[in-house]
Amino acid sequence: MNNLCIDVKNLNKHFGEHHVVKDFSLQVAKGEIYGFLGPNGSGKTTSIRMMCGLITPDSGEGTCLGMDIFTQREKIKKKIGYMTQYFSMWGNLTIRENLLFIARLYSLDQRRDRVERALSELGLTARQHQLAKELSGGWKQRMALAACMLHEPVLLFLDEPTAGVDPKAQREFWQMLHQLSDRGISILVSTHYMDEAERCHKVAYLSYGRLLANGGFAPIFPDTCYHLTHYWPAAVDIPVASDNPVHYADAIRYNARTPLQGSLLPLTRLV
């Protein structure tokens, strides 16, 4: 039995003259949390949107949940949850009212039961009658994740879900993601934060539209970091699937400037 929820090969995407994703290949096992790292404009969001059926690749092949990403896009959309960085909500509605409205928009059956379940799973029950416009960034992200879970997807795509969220809310959000993963839900998440990437089962590093490295966090970013306030970071090795020196330089710049909770910075030596 196929244990892959994502299996794509040599995906390419152009926007006008810009080749934004180049020969992208990836396999994600069911139940994994897979992190996408890379600077702005590296192709993370476009890659995610191709894999989940929101946009069609120019070339390549692949499946999402066993369905073809070219010919079965509408079927894929019914089985996945997609959370954008900027979630649209109705500020003058409560959390509960927002979720009920979204459930009605998608004509879901047993709407009230689904909303109750989502409120409970995401720790929103006590705040369900609070207006959305009064929520902090962390609680808004919880509500966005609850909305993604209403139709009980088996695969989640999260695009920088903790951007602008305080460290406490960030930790709690990731605890919830691991609880979902323990239930067998697969999660692809893009992030700029190395500490978040370390929480993933596997990570992929993208730059200039290319997948430069992927696999376990430790082999890609060995645990030889030091607190920046006390030490200049030690060099670490990272395998990069590219012979373009521009990619090398970009990876060094990215790792040197990546914001980290706890002020940890790796300085990368590319091999």
In tens, the pLDDT along 167-182 reads 888 889 999 999 999 9
Structure tokens at 62: 């692949």
Contact 141, 173 (CB under 8 A): yes
CA-based angle 5:7:10, to the nearest 5?
155
Mean pLDDT of the chain: 82
Q: How many CA atoms lie within 13 A of 229 on its CB side?
A: 4
d(CA 46, CA 44): 6
Whole-model pTM: value is 0.77
Quote the Cα angle for 139-174-256, to 5°.
105
| Of 42, 40, 41, 58, the residue nearest 50 (C-alpha) | 58
135-168 pLDDT, tens digit per residue, is: 988 899 899 999 999 999 999 999 888 887 888 8
| Domain at 4-79+153-270, CATH class | alpha beta
25 CB-near residues (< 8 Å, 6+ apart): 8, 9, 10, 11, 211
